[in-house]
Amino acid sequence: MRLVVMNAKILNEQGEQEFAQIVIENGVISNIEKTGPIEQPVAEEGTQVIDAGGRLVTPGFIDMHVHLREPGYEHKETIESGSRSAAKGGFTTIACMPNTRPVTDNPDTVRYVKQKAEEAGLVNVLPYAAITKSELGRELTDFAALKEAGAIGFTDDGVGVQSAQMMKDAMRQAAALGMPVIAHCEDNSLVEGAPVAEGEFARKHGLKGIPNESEAIHVGRDILLAEATGVHYHVCHVSTEQSIRLIRQAKQLGINVTAEVCPHHLVLSEEDIPGLDANWKMNPPLRSRRDVEACIAALEDGTIDIIVTDHAPHSEEEKAKGMQLAPFGIVGFETAFPLLYTKFVATGRWSLEMLVQRMTADPARVFGLEAGRLVPGAPADLTIVDLEAERTVDPEDFASKGRNTPFAGWKLKGWPVATIVRGRLVWNDERELTR
Ligand SMILES: NC(=O)N[C@@H](CC(=O)O)C(=O)O
Ligand SMILES: [Zn+2]
Ligand SMILES: [Zn+2]
């Protein structure tokens, strides 16, 4: 099977866009030819041609923090619908969290997730396994068996590991297996049922506030434990200035820590929440403008390594319960790139290269994945993006079952138009690429 993506604009080493033709054989990039624009594709038998029409072609986006909800919460999302949503957002590899029902704390569930992803046949799905049984924080799972079944790291995402001893034991075991520990950092004793961050919004609406220390205390604790155990420690959805300070210092000391940030924490602060609408409720919560600025600066200077969506679909009924009672989480796949392109690249603050790198090469580096680069020999996972396309976010258009986004009605630029996984076109926008 041969596929040629012609009239692609790719980013070269200098971060400039240049014309190229990408040749793919058996799911692997076999050649990248620097050609000028081509009018007529050479029709060769057995070769499929996709004309990118001068649009940007990047390595497929990688999202190392997503919730696919299956098994157990298929009314929110399935591995199929989540994979489709990912493909539509330009993602070719996603890593899914274990807070399913049952929790992915046993080899059978890891295998089940992999099997379902294969049946969906859309994007590469990498499962995480839980640190503790049922994510209850009481008993460690069988790390060796979970690794053997195909888990790529350990996390109790959705909840923080409250016991320092439990976390230390987890890190020791993970380190021995050469596996990372991925931490949702939250000290429950400082949170106690608060739905939003401490701040103006919470005060105005008489709601309990989540303080910044609830996150940073775990980050600080875990950095010390990572230093002691030598594990690769990765911090989930960083949202506070204080956590960033600790991560920056840890990196300077040579401790093996990496971190991620979500688009919403780069774009929104608690001051932006329009009212008691639970589509603005997520964990960690939207924080102060100061925290947002710290997150942006940390991503720019590399203190935060990667961008993840934390795609967290919930049903409309669940989100209709209101700010206090609705579950935390917002969907993210289908708005991530246009949102960040519009807010940071189109405005001139970031280079296009930086944004693409934080969503491709950097996650591949952090997690040791063979992906994220356009080079001969690499798996042919590609995303075609129309940087000029301008559209309004309409949740009814989402491939995800989740409609829970704060970005409904936002006018954004830079939309993915086609997604290629292992040399196979898994999604394309019918409005585009009609040739
Ligand atoms: N981020 C969220 O607000 N929610 C996530 C859990 C999590 O990522 O902690 C979910 O599973 O819904
Ligand atoms: Zn989390
Ligand atoms: Zn999450």
Q: Residues 83-104: pLDDT tens digits? A: 999 999 999 999 999 999 999 9
pLDDT for residue 433:
62
Cα 361 to Cα 358: distance, rounded to the nearest angstrom: 7
Centroid of ligand 3 to alpha carbon of 159 (angstroms)? 9
Position in ligand 1 atom list of the atom nearest CA 313: 12
CA-proximal residue: ligand 1, atom 4 (nearest):
329
The pLDDT of residue 403 is above 80: yes
Centroid of ligand 1 to alpha carbon of 99 (angstroms)? 9
Question: How much is the mean pLDDT over the chain?
Answer: 97
Contact of 334 with 89, CB cutoff 8 Å: yes
Cβ of 402 closer than 6 Å to ligand 1, yes or no, is no
Give Dmax (Cα) for the chain.
68
Catalytic site residues?
A: 310
Q: According to the annotation, is 265 in a ligand binding site?
A: no
Contact of 318 with 327, CB cutoff 8 Å: yes
Stated pTM of the model: 0.98
How confident is the model over 411-426, as a mean pLDDT?
98
The three-state secondary structure class of 238 is coil
Q: According to the annotation, is 310 in a ligand binding site?
A: yes
- Site to substitute for ligand 1 among 282, 321, 330, 331, most atoms within 8 A of C-beta: 282
**Ligand found nearest the CA of 158:** 1
Q: According to the annotation, is 106 in a ligand binding site?
A: no
Centroid of ligand 1 to alpha carbon of 357 (angstroms)? 25
Give one DSSP letter per residue of 138-194, joined into a string. Answer: SSB--HHHHHHHT---B--TTS----HHHHHHHHHHHHHHT--EEE----GGGTTT-
Cβ of 186 closer than 6 Å to ligand 1, yes or no, is no
Query: What residues contact residue 392 under an 8 Å CB cut-off, 6+ apart?
Result: 409, 410, 411, 412
Consecutive H or E run containing 30 = strand 28-33
Contact of 90 with 419, CB cutoff 8 Å: yes
Phi, psi dihedral angles at 2 (to 5 degrees): -125, 135
pLDDT for residue 434:
45
Strand partners, 29: 24
Q: According to the annotation, is 283 in a ligand binding site?
A: yes
Closest Cα partner for 57 from 358, 384, 389, 426? 384
Q: Residues 198-254: pLDDT tens digits? A: 999 999 999 999 999 999 999 999 999 999 999 999 999 999 999 999 999 999 999
Cα 40 to Cα 42: distance, rounded to the nearest angstrom: 6
The pLDDT of residue 435 is above 50: no
The CA dihedral of 378, 365, 306, 112, to the nearest 10 degrees, is 70
Cβ of 184 closer than 6 Å to ligand 1, yes or no, is yes
Closest Cα partner for 132 from 94, 95, 158? 158
Q: According to the annotation, is 69 in a ligand binding site?
A: yes
Phi, psi dihedral angles at 372 (to 5 degrees): 90, 5
Residue located via tokens 């942006």: 296
Cβ of 215 closer than 6 Å to ligand 1, yes or no, is no
Cβ of 310 closer than 6 Å to ligand 1, yes or no, is yes
How confident is the model over 339-346, as a mean pLDDT?
99
The pLDDT of residue 346 is above 90: yes
Strand partners, 224: none
CA-proximal residue: ligand 1, atom 7 (nearest):
158
Residue located via tokens 């590469």: 124
**Is-cis flag, bond preceding 379, omega within 30?**
no
Percentage of residues in the chain having pLDDT higher than 90: 95
Cβ of 90 closer than 6 Å to ligand 1, yes or no, is no
